[in-house]
Amino acid sequence: MTSDAQTSDENQQLQDRVNNRSQRPQSEAFKKFMASHWAPSDAGIHSRDEVADFTPRRRAAVSEQFAGERVVVPAGPLKVRSNDTDYRFRPHSAFAYLTGLGVDHEPNAVLVFEPTNDAPSSSDSTGASDTPHHEVALYFKPMASRDTEEFYADSRHGEFWIGPRPDLAEFEQRLGIRTKDLDQFEAAVTKDVGPAESGGTQVRLLREADQNVDALVDTARANTSMDLEAADALDAELTEFCSELRLVKDDWEVNQLRNSVAATIAGFEDVVRALPRAVGHDRGERIVEGAFFARARLEGNDLGYDTIAASGNNATILHWIRNHDRIDPGELLLLDAGVEADSLYTADITRTIPVSGRYTPVQRKVYEAVLAAADAAFAVVEPGIKFRDIHTTAVTVLAEHLDEWGLLPVSLEEALSQEGQQHRRWMPHGTSHHLGLDVHDCAQAKRDLYLDGVLEPGMVFTIEPGLYFKNEDLAVPEEYRGIGVRIEDDVLVTTDGCENLSAALPRKPDDVEAWIAHLQS
């Protein structure tokens, strides 16, 4: 190595060395030529997204709850997968809910509610609407023009690398939200930060979505001697409220979930067709996983969560996602999977499938007990009951079957008591969770609105009882060991009961067997 080369290498910043792989020319001639001879970008009038008719109500609820305060909701940054490659971007669910932005749009974007003097809701010349107590703006990094180095040199944001992105005007037209350049965000979010009693602007931040925004807001607070512990409590209330807002779905959300469920059902059909290739393969579970993933990418944005493709004893592991084992003839396959739509709403469905096409007598016995628990849970769902009543109903039916089979170490009455609960050895999880933008949606909601909450029309959740008898479980006879069964459906509360959104996927054992025979014929 020459001395000049050594000097050049030593002077190159460590963070810049990742760009060595691109071998990009540095000559002025190259830069001048790259900045010229490009056709104009495709700009113009863009149609308004359907979701834009629903998001103003969501933002208005935030505005009403936090009148007089600045509310900051980041989308979040790109996340590194390894070295200089990133995971596909997914925004924070609260950001997606309040903006309507799904798929892979706008890492580092931030939605800001700027307090006003209780001005009435209004629209500006672009059609961007404000809320009762705030002016709302979406800050994001616009696409650099083609005469800049960013166009071809920035592998995270440059159009040459990642393709075109919407500009400020397009998002205003599509979403009905005022847009601003991300360069203006720091000044906007730190302006006049301070306690309200001192004439400052109190900030509520959706924390842990973007560490850079967290640090920016915390620094602004510290500079005004605000109590950071008290500020954290205020931020937690915002997170809680954004979670609770999603407990009842609007018509647009329900439609997105219907689409996600339909794609998921198609994915389950793909898996059944792939089973003959999977059975006997050293990594048969991976064949199952791959078949479903192909459908998720074809009809949606991605998986709603890592697929559980659990065969044999793996079906007794509640969150088995390694999916690296064999599938042997005669086993059960517990498939728990969901397609995430482009809007980011996900289904969450489980079926337990006999890989050879028919349940053995003991497999059917366990399956029918789980199905009875699920059916009993469906029967009690209606507006006005408590969410926790669904779980109580399902596990009571399971306990009754376990008692009938002689598996409980105590009487049924004692097992069902709060001091007992021995039946929960074979189903330690809950029967239901809310569903929506997150597979476990609304998880930060207060207990009295979630577990102790009262069902309302528009709520969507799962019903998913199960029984899991592990190979190593000496508390059950050998014939049960290695059998894990879960049946999970997605449920919409209606005005007079509920609708099983995933009813098109067979549930009864005879129907499951006929479904397999049809798809594999």
pLDDT tens per residue, the chain (521 residues)?
444 444 455 566 766 666 666 678 889 999 999 999 999 877 667 899 999 999 999 999 999 999 999 999 999 999 999 988 899 999 999 999 999 998 867 899 999 999 997 655 555 555 566 788 999 999 999 888 899 999 998 888 899 988 888 889 999 999 999 999 999 999 999 999 988 788 899 999 999 999 999 999 999 999 887 888 889 999 999 999 999 999 999 999 999 999 999 999 999 999 999 999 999 999 999 999 999 999 999 999 999 999 999 999 999 999 999 999 999 999 999 999 999 999 999 999 999 999 999 999 999 999 999 999 999 999 999 999 999 999 999 999 999 999 999 999 999 999 999 999 999 999 999 999 999 999 999 999 999 999 999 999 999 999 999 999 999 999 999 999 999 999 999 999 999 999 999 999 999 999 999 999 999 99
Pairing of strands 460-463, 483-486: unpaired
Dist CA 254 CA 250 (whole Å): 6
> Strands of 460-463's sheet, edge to edge?
460-463, 489-493, 498-500
Of 142, 141, 150, nearest to 34 (Cα)?
A: 150
11 in a structural domain: no
Taking CA atoms, 212 is separated from 186, 204, 225, 421, 447, in Å, by 11, 15, 20, 46, 31
- Read off the tokens for 222: 């510290």
370 contact partners, CB below 8 Å, separation of at least 6: 352, 398, 465, 466, 467, 485, 486, 487
Residue finishing a domain among 244, 279, 300: 244
Q: Both 239 and 284 in a single domain?
A: no
17 in a structural domain: no
Contact 316, 482 (CB under 8 A): yes
Q: Both 442 and 394 in a single domain?
A: yes
Residue finishing a domain among 219, 244, 269: 244
- Number of domain units in the chain: 2
Dist CA 502 CA 339 (whole Å): 13
Q: Both 404 and 262 in a single domain?
A: yes
112 in a structural domain: yes
Q: Both 185 and 212 in a single domain?
A: yes
The amino acid at residue 469 is F
The amino acid at residue 328 is D
Q: How far is CA 365 from the centre of its chain?
A: 34
Dihedral angle over CA of 204, 207, 211, 215, nearest 10: 40
Q: Which residue has the tokens 């990418």?
A: 297
| Vertex 87 angle, CA 82 and 89, to 5° | 150
Determine the pLDDT at residue 126. 52
Q: Which residue has the tokens 């998913």?
A: 464
Determine the pLDDT at residue 196. 79
The strand pairing partners of 386, in sequence order, are 454
Dist CA 47 CA 147 (whole Å): 28
75 in a structural domain: yes
Q: Both 65 and 127 in a single domain?
A: yes
> Taking the model in full, what pTM does it have?
0.93
Element (H, E) at 467: strand 466-469
518 contact partners, CB below 8 Å, separation of at least 6: none
Q: How many CB atoms lie within 10 A of CB 353?
A: 23
Residue finishing a domain among 228, 244, 260: 244
Q: Both 145 and 112 in a single domain?
A: yes
Dihedral sign for Cα atoms in the order 488, 494, 496, 501: negative
The strand pairing partners of 201, in sequence order, are 193
37 in a structural domain: no
DSSP designation for 194: S
Q: Both 229 and 292 in a single domain?
A: no
Q: Both 231 and 346 in a single domain?
A: no
Determine the pLDDT at residue 18. 62
Dist CA 141 CA 49 (whole Å): 21
Query: CB burial class (10 A; 0-12, 13-18, 19+) of residue 466?
Result: buried
Determine the pLDDT at residue 3. 45
Determine the pLDDT at residue 6. 47
Q: Both 206 and 330 in a single domain?
A: no
Q: Both 445 and 479 in a single domain?
A: yes
Which structural domain range is residue 280 located in?
Answer: 251-519
Q: How far is CA 306 from the centre of its chain?
A: 11
- Numbers of helices and strands, H then E, in the chain: 16, 17
488 contact partners, CB below 8 Å, separation of at least 6: 336, 348, 349, 350, 351, 462, 463, 464
